[in-house]
A = this chain, B = another copy of it.
Amino acid sequence: MTSGLSFNKNDPSINIGDKVLLYFDKKRRWIVKIEKGKVFLSDRGKIELDNLVGLVYGSKVKTSTNFDVYLMKPLPIDYIERGLKRVTQIIYPKDQGLIVMLLGIAPGLKVLEIGVGTGCTTAILANIVKPTGHVYGYEVREDFINIAKRNLSELGLLDYVTIKLKDAREGIDERDIDAAIVDIGNPWDVLERVYEALKPSAPIVFFVPSMNQIEKLYKALIDYGGFIDIRCYEVLLREIKLSIESIRPANFMVGHTGYIMFARKTLK
């Protein structure tokens, strides 16, 4: 049995079936699955993928046009940046990182996710709570669920996740949840449901894109009661461009993704 996520594999050499990050340069990087007879084509030449079998991760090979390519074991960020199918707006690593910190995500936890989308944040959560924890996801769109399941399956994480085609307003089946994340347009509509599902004292995070939603959600949380330590954050990530002659922030950056609202359940 493979318990394993390809990005935690201990075997240092490449096998048939592995996912490999072909790293040409900053912009040319692809995750490919090693299969017999498969050829990878790029504007920098081609690579016969079964020639890679047996090579150690971190090795450098040449394309047919003599361009250097590094064979790297994909990291979770590689899947987020390049590997997963997505049709929705996803939560970015800058926000996922803070959410993991605020919720204290750790192995063994039972985490609730309202609004699974295509499973990108689900994968991040599952990769940390595994193997003894679990992520329970709710999503109203079946097409998203299908993509999410395929993504989680490719990452070897499907065993640690249950996704339900269900509107969380109709009820959440789980109880004693350790931490929850809500990423839907109308989070105020599910407060009672997630309150019931959470352990007393457990933390919850809401991801909301607009100022209007902060206002409405904050009012709803105050009106509902049952939550304390309500906070709101925004994370800005700047990339610094590196070259020997010139080190400077990138000319363009993501200016906004969403606001992260945090709260903790109390007994009512």
Contacts and interface: CB of A to CB of B under 8 A. Distances in A.
A66 interface: no
Interface residues of A, number: 88
Interface in A184-211: 199-203, 209-211
Contacts of A127: 104, 106
18 contacts: A12-B201, A56-B267, A57-B200, A57-B201, A58-B265, A70-B228, A97-B99, A100-B101, A107-B107, A209-B246, A209-B248, A211-B215, A234-B240, A236-B238, A250-B256, A251-B254, A252-B252, A253-B253
A76 interface: yes
Interface string A235-248: 11111111011111
Contact of A76 (B72, B104, B218): B104
Q: Which one of A102, A215, A257 has the greatest number of beta carbons of chain B within 10 Å?
A: A215
A169 interface: no
Nearest to A213: B246
Interface string A1-14: 00001011000100
Interface of A: 5, 7-8, 12, 23, 26, 56-60, 70-73, 75-77, 93-94, 96-109, 124, 127-128, 130-131, 178, 199-203, 209-212, 214-215, 218-219, 222, 228-242, 244-257, 259, 264-267
Chain A contact residues: over half helix, strand or loop, or mixed?
A: mixed
Given A58-B265, A249-B256, A253-B253, A94 B104 contact: no
